[in-house]
A = this chain, B = another copy of it.
Amino acid sequence: MRTALHCSAGDVDDRRHALANAANLLGDDTVALDALVVVFNGDGVGAVRADSPVADDVRGLLARTPEETAAPDAPTVEVCACGNSLAGRDIPADELVYGVDVVSSGMGELTRRQADGYAYIRVP
């Protein structure tokens, strides 16, 4: 199974909660998860700035990829930020947490992922 989480939260506690939702899903042994992507758009994109209060939570998520964990059956983990939202807030891509992908639009990415079989969950 594959899941796309969608976070638009501007509030720090909400962003932390969204990232905890992601960690909870990865930690749920009853779900055979193959892939997780967390898509930030709107005010949510501030969460993935390298100096954001939750930047270490984002880094922690990205550190759970199969390469990092050396667990071949670990799900892939991706974090994406909406390019429109970054541009609208004058946040350059080189100020983001290392490993975060900039996508053309959050809406487009969430459409594409669901067309590709991902479940969708709004968080938090």
Say whether A105 contacts B42, CB under 8 Å.
no
Q: Is the CB of B119 within 8 A of A110?
A: yes
Given the complex, which residues of B lie within 8 Å of A33, measured CB to CB?
A: 111
B residues less than 8 Å from A27 (CB atoms): 105
Q: If the complex has contacts A28-B104, A107-B24, are A121 and B120 also in contact, measured as CB distance less than 8 A?
A: yes
- Whether A104 contacts B6 in the complex (CB less than 8 A), given A42-B17, A110-B119, A119-B120, comes out as no
Bound state CA distance, A79 and B29, in angstroms? Answer: 21
Cβ of A3 < 8 Å from any Cβ of B? yes
Please state if A107 and B25 are interface contacts (CB–CB under 8 Å).
yes
Chain B residues within an 8 Å CB radius of A124: 8, 42
Closest to A122 in B: B122
Task: Establish whether residues A111 and B3, one from each chain, have CB atoms under 8 Å apart when the complex forms.
Answer: yes
Which A residues form the contact surface with B (CB < 8 A)? 1, 3, 5-6, 8, 17, 21-22, 24-25, 27-31, 33, 41-42, 84, 104-108, 110-115, 119-124
